[in-house]
Amino acid sequence: MCIVGVVSTSDVLLALLVGGPSHGYDLKRCHDTWFDQAKPLAFGQVYATLARLERDGLVAIAHTEAGSGPERTIYELTPGGRERVDAWIGTPAEPAPPGADELIRKTVAAIRLGLDPAGFVARQRAAHLRRMHALADVAPSDLMASLVREHAIAHLDADLRWLAAAAEQLSAGADDVARTATRAGLTPGSSS
């Protein structure tokens, strides 16, 4: 599976505040609804981040309101904070590097070393397809959820296409190895 890049909580909270002054609880709810694929934010993390941002002058306390429960602090974005948000959006996200993925390692091993490559490819394809099917079955609640789902599906699709291409390339390479081995007088498959 692909790795979702680590997103800075500060950047997300600042962006969420562009919508208007909010309470920490509302910010957490918004985040969890929008990015429901990621881990939900812990309250502690939200308040700690907000405090840090206030210290750095990127947010300010708008006012406190006394309600039926404990005191609620409303935070708002400062001009400095707004600049930071614009800079964040203005810089494109780093294309996630593939990294030493388990999928890649398994695929290379299975095909290159002849560990039931056809069976492996079929099983891996089945797993990806079933996940795609499951994702497609759930109707997205809103545009945000739909976008997140499409991203997941697109990555699964990319993996499947890579898998098919890899199988083709690697078995072609393996054929070459086998041919060279036969020519050299060695039995095919005895060495890799």
Footprint on this chain of other proteins (rule: CB under 8 A): 114, 117-118, 121-122, 125-126, 128-130, 132-133, 136, 153, 156-157, 160-161, 164, 171, 174-175, 178, 189
Which residue is listed with tokens 């007088």? 185
Residues in the chain: 192
Report whether 131 contacts 137 (CB < 8 A). Answer: no
Report whether 3 contacts 96 (CB < 8 A). Answer: yes
Q: Which is nearer to other proteins, 118 or 186 (CB)?
A: 118
Residue 39: half-sphere exposure toward Cβ, Cα within 13 Å: 9
Least Å distance between CB 92 and other proteins? 22
Least Å distance between CB 67 and other proteins? 45
Q: Which is nearer to other proteins, 89 or 154 (CB)?
A: 154
Tokens of 153: 């599906």
Q: Which is nearer to other proteins, 106 or 161 (CB)?
A: 161
Strands in 48-94 per DSSP E: 59-65, 72-77
Phi, psi dihedrals of residue 141, rounded to the nearest 5°: -75, -35
Q: Which is nearer to other proteins, 52 or 131 (CB)?
A: 131
Least Å distance between CB 191 and other proteins? 14
Q: Which is nearer to other proteins, 91 or 187 (CB)?
A: 187
Least Å distance between CB 103 and other proteins? 15
Which residue is listed with tokens 């990294």? 99
Least Å distance between CB 136 and other proteins? 6
Taking the C-alpha atoms of 20, 24, 30 and 33 in order, what is their torsion angle to the nearest 10 degrees? 180
Report whether 102 contacts 159 (CB < 8 A). Answer: no
